[in-house]
Amino acid sequence: MLKFTQEHEWLKIEGDVATVGITSHAAEQLGDLVFVELPDVGATFSKDGDAATVESVKAASDVYCPLDGEVVEVNQAIVDDPSLVNSDPQGAGWFFKLKLSNVSDVDALLDEAAYKELIA
């Protein structure tokens, strides 16, 4: 199940763990990424906390934590090769996996139709 935020993050929910990344729309808006900084495994965040940083040829931008939780895995591949985020933002370009503090919070996020309406 995919969910989205108004800040252009996507979440793939599997049980109480969400894989988090930025949407294709966000990757296009940022342009070619040259740097990605990810949170540490074990870091805990509140919803909308600054979890990661991306830098492109255009600008630097924060990636927000979409829900309360603890980082249980990060994608080192995008640190080594930030262009993965541009080439496959909603696949191999994922950022981190978050063990959700409260799975029911997912219900407040946008579904794909609502997100498409937001960016239209």
Q: How far apart are CA 70 and CA 65, in angstroms?
A: 10
CATH of the domain at 97: 2.40.50.100
> What global pTM score does this model have?
0.95
Q: How confident is the prediction for the chain on average, in pLDDT?
A: 96
Residue 70 has pLDDT above 90, yes or no: yes
Q: How far apart are CA 12 and CA 89, in angstroms?
A: 13
Range of the domain at 64: 2-119
Residue 86 has pLDDT above 90, yes or no: yes
* Number of structural domains in the chain: 1
Using the Cα atoms of residue 7, residue 109, residue 48 and residue 75 in order, give the sign of their dihedral: negative
